[in-house]
Amino acid sequence: MKFHKILAIFLAFLLCFSLAACKADTSTEATIPEPPEAEKYIPEFWEIIEYKHIGYGLGQYLLYDPETLVMYSYIYDRQGASITMVYNADGTPRLYTPEISSEN
């Protein structure tokens, strides 16, 4: 009886350690997809500064209006999209300047 308890404990530990050795595939070969069709909903008179693929069908465009130089953030996912103005820390609209955006 004592032998069976020790054997059961040993097999339980063996099972735990064998499962702990498994890991998910974390290869870095994943490619960032091209910007999706969400780009067709951006007004033609706005310029795209940057595109970021966030993951799980979620992405973000950083835009600016060439006439006013005000920057906007356009975020989309599979179910919809939203656009908002980008603000400075003091609450004023952030204006696009090529020198600042190239440093980021």
Residue 60 lies in a domain: yes
Q: Give the angle subtended at the CA of 72 by the CAs of 69 and 77, to the nearest 5°.
A: 155
Residue 11 lies in a domain: no
* Per-residue pLDDT, 93: 94
**What is residue 70's DSSP assignment?**
B
Residues 27-78 have pLDDT tens digits of 444 444 455 566 666 767 777 887 787 777 788 888 898 889 999 988 888 7
Residue 47 β-bridge partners? 64
Q: Which residue has 């980008």 as its token pair?
A: 86
**22 phi and psi, to 5 degrees?**
-75, 145
Query: What domain count does the chain have?
Result: 1
Residue 91, domain extent: 26-103
Q: Please report which helix (H) or strand (E) contains residue 102, including its range.
A: helix 98-103
Residues 94-104 have pLDDT tens digits of 999 877 544 55
Say if residue 92's pLDDT is above 90. Answer: yes
pTM listed for this prediction: 0.55
Residue 6 lies in a domain: no
